Amino acid sequence: GYKAWIAAGKDSEDYPTWTRNIIIRNLKIDAPWDVNPEDSANAYADGMTLSRAQNIYIDHVSMGDGDTPDSLASDTRHDGLLDIVRGSDYVTVTNSYFFKHHKTTLIGNGDSGRAWSDEGRLHVTLSNNFYDRLESRLPLNRYGQVHMFNNYIYGLTDSSVSADLKFGSGVDPRYHSNMLLQNMYFEITELAASSFCKKAIDGGNTGVVLGFRSSGHLLLSNKKVNNVANTTPVAWDGQCGYSAPTGANVWTPPYSYTLQTAAAAKASVVSNSGAGKLK
């Protein structure tokens, strides 16, 4: 396999199963329902898996559970919506709609045991996407050099919400990740200010992250203060205790891009994301 190829000193770029230079646009994809999951917590197939894939552009795609929500079973029948793993590189996901699912996007599927395939790869851009009523992994990132900007994340934490729609965690930096987040809009119902850095961005992995920069966001929660529901978003940097990259870990996006304000991004994303909205 691929690991043996690398161990033998052969050029990773010459491994015969690489997929390169693919555009995926204007599709609606329902996550597959595993009729015979391996155990109560793990299903088999993703909606889309990028494995040993390079130069991939995904645009105006809609992905969710479709007619098979998690509530139909007591155990796990879906895996990821869009996973980017096994040395994949230079992946861009824009103007897409991810909705009503548990494990949304995994970037890098292992810690130190995946260094041989993932270190120095997993360059991913996620912009102008709508993450709607999802549970987790927006994304969960190991090793990835990930640029996120102008995305809109809408999550539900109300006690009345069914378990398969309840927001658990958003952006989740993990082992050797290096992330740049800019001008995102987080709208998480019933989320107390003290939980922003536990839910919207998971701030619990500061010891293993190579770098994290975050700024320009708005966060709106209707959590009542003095029995009055909040309707005004607050400015939030989302740094959550992480440190900016230093030395060799410092990077800038190798492309030009135009940032919208977080408020403008929300309006644009709601109107333009997903299949059927190409212009």
- pTM of the entire structure? 0.93
- Mean pLDDT confidence for 123-142: 98
> Nearest CA to 117 among 140, 143, 139?
143
Q: Is the pLDDT of residue 212 over 90?
A: yes
Question: Which listed residue (52, 137, 174, 213) is catalytic?
Answer: 137
Round the average pLDDT of the chain to a whole number and report it. Answer: 93
Q: Which residue has the tokens 């939980």?
A: 195
Whether 137 is catalytic: yes
Q: Where are the domains of the chain?
A: 17-272
pLDDT tens figures, 47-66:
999 999 999 999 999 999 88
Residue 200: what pLDDT? Answer: 97
**In angstroms, rounded to a whole number, what is the distance separating the alpha carbons of residues 120 and 145?**
8
Percentage with pLDDT > 70 across the chain: 99
pLDDT bracket for residue 42 (50, 70, 90):
confident
Q: Which CATH class is domain 17-272?
A: mainly beta
pLDDT bracket for residue 40 (50, 70, 90):
low
pLDDT tens figures, 244-271:
999 999 999 999 999 999 999 999 999 9
